[in-house]
């Protein structure tokens, strides 16, 4: 497979070169391709979530609870912060997940005024199956790249993210 196949971004760049030959289009090419990659990957990722009856936001909540470790509970505000979601947005997601019996709200054992969100057995089973399919799907999405290419892409993406998200240096 040739590394220099033309794509839709090339057509856009050709138009700009014809109209504005003075522009440096290297960044436009890269950002355009990254944007198209994001859209294509998002569609493929969403399709896996749909197989499990989940929307992306619901998957994210269940995944955050699951990776928190036993007893698979978090404070709703911690969940909202982790997922960069408003408290109101988190309440809506939790209401839907609770109605589906995937999570339950429980009293905090330390602070009786507070609640925690707990993954139910049904929710844990579902997220375990969904995340297995999700990671397999992501691996499939990157199958066109060699192991070395994947490592290099990860290295470059990490550098760029650190420059764009300077406050998020975890």
Please tell me the total number of residues recorded for the chain in this structure: 170
Per-residue pLDDT, 88 = 84
Q: What is the pLDDT of residue 147?
A: 96
- Fold that domain 54-164 belongs to in CATH: Arc Repressor Mutant, subunit A (1.10.10)
Q: Where are the domains of the chain?
A: 54-164
* Tens digit of each residue's pLDDT (9 = 90 or more) over 80-135: 888 888 888 888 899 999 999 999 998 877 777 778 999 999 999 999 999 999 99
Residue 80 · residue 73 · CB < 8 Å: no
Q: Are 89 and 80 in contact (CB under 8 A)?
A: yes
pLDDT confidence of residue 2: 45
- Is there a contact between 73 and 116 (Cβ–Cβ < 8 Å)? yes
- The residues, any chain, with a CB within 8 Å of residue 65's CB and separated by 6 or more, are 72, 73, 74, 79, 103, 117, 118, 119, 123, 127
Whether 49 contacts 59, CB under 8 Å: yes
**pLDDT at residue 169, as a whole number:** 54
Q: What is the pLDDT of residue 149?
A: 96
What pLDDT was estimated at residue 3? 64
pLDDT in tens, 30-82: 999 999 999 999 999 999 999 999 999 999 999 999 999 999 999 888 898 88
Please tell me the pTM assigned to this model. Answer: 0.83
Dihedral (CA of 120, 123, 129, 132) sign = negative
């Amino acid at each position: 497979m040739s590394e220099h196949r033309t794509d839709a971004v090339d057509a856009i760049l050709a138009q700009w070169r014809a109209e504005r030959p003075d522009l440096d289009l290297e960044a436009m090419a890269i950002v355009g391709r990254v944007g198209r990659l994001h859209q294509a990957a998002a569609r493929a990722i969403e399709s896996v979530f749909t197989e499990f009856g989940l929307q992306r936001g619901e998957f994210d909540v269940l995944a955050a609870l699951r990776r928190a470790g036993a007893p698979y509970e978090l404070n709703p505000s911690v969940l909202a912060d982790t997922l960069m979601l408003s408290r109101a947005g988190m309440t809506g997601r939790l209401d839907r997940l609770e109605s589906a019996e995937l999570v339950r709200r429980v009293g905090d054992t330390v602070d009786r005024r507070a609640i925690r969100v707990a993954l139910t057995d049904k929710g844990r089973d579902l997220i375990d199956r969904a995340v297995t399919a999700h990671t397999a799907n992501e691996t499939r999405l990157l199958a066109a790249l060699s192991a070395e290419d994947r490592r290099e892409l990860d290295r470059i993406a990490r550098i760029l993210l650190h420059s764009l998200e300077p406050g998020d240096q975890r």
